[in-house]
Amino acid sequence: MGRCGLRPPGGTGTLERYPRGPAGPSFAGEGESVAEISGIVVDWGGVVTRSFAEGIAVWAADEGVDAAEFHAALGRLLGPAAVPGPVARQFHLVERGELPVSEFEGTLAALVRRSDGSHPVTEGLVERMFAPFTDEPAMVGLLRALRDAGLKVALLSNSWGHTYDRRGWEGLFDTVVISCEVGLRKPEPEIFRHTARLLDRRLEECVMVDDLGRNVRAARELGMAGVHHRTARETARALIPLLPPAGRQAVLDHLSAAPSGA
Chain segment 127-178, per-residue pLDDT in tens: 999 999 999 999 999 999 999 999 999 999 999 999 999 999 999 999 999 9
Hey, what CATH topology would domain 39-50+134-257 get?
Answer: Rossmann fold (3.40.50)
- When comparing pLDDT for 6 and 257, which is higher? 257
pLDDT tens per residue, range 191-235: 999 999 999 999 999 999 999 999 999 999 999 999 999 999 999
The 10 Å CB-count burial string (b at 16+, else e) for 66-102 is ebeebbeebeebeeeeeeeeeebebbbbbbbbbbbbe
pLDDT tens per residue, range 16-61: 322 333 333 333 333 344 578 999 999 999 999 999 999 999 999 9
pTM: 0.88
Share of the chain above pLDDT 90, in %: 81
Note whether 169 and 1 are within 8 A (CB).
no
Q: Where are the domains of the chain?
A: 39-50+134-257, 52-130
